[in-house]
Amino acid sequence: MNISFTFKNFEPSEQLRDYAAKRFEKLDKYVVNTDNADLQVNLGVEKTRQMADVVFTTDRTHISAYHESEDMYATLDLVHDKLEAQLRKINEKLKERRRGERLASVRTHFFSYDDDQVGKSERQIVAIDNYSPKPMSVDEAAMQLDTLKYEFLVFFNSETERINVVYRRKSGDFGLIDPGVEA
């Protein structure tokens, strides 16, 4: 992350520069690609007011925060907290949006095989069912499958945040299909 400082009406101490740089470097944990992130910190003093105006830009984000008080260190802390809260909110919205995409409805097709006149089997769709998988743990899905007496259950695994399938095996045990796990 590229951090640049601008000072107005005062010459900052080396301690203030280091403090501000360390404080704002912590924001890079909210950014995926830190090479394209720029943080412009504008600090100013007017009589007894200590002001900080910070602008944070990335490829997809442009946010800013402003605060003023009588102490520059407190001003930096409060402006940092405001920026961090905004970045956290943006990241939560992105997670919710991705989670919503994963919870899209699932379409299930039921097939039957009919023998035609020549003796060949022909596959036909006899029913189509749509539903949205509910978030649950693997144990909850297995209990629900056991009570519903179905052969399989598609669900949204709340622990891994992926669509999974739990199914009944011939032995009576349950199996789990997790398409996101590599063997």
Give the confidence band of 161 by pLDDT, cuts at 50, 70, 90. confident
Dump pLDDT digits (tens) for 94-104: 777 766 655 55
- 182 located within any domain: no
pTM over the 0.85 mark: no
Residues 14-51: pLDDT tens digits? 999 999 999 999 888 888 777 788 999 999 999 889 99
115 shares a domain with 70: no
Confidence (pLDDT) at 80: 93
E strands of the chain, at which residues? 2-8, 38-46, 49-57, 62-69, 106-115, 121-131, 135-136, 152-157, 162-168, 174-177
Whether 13 is in a domain gets the answer: yes
Domain boundary among 70, 101, 132: 101
Same domain, 39 and 80: yes
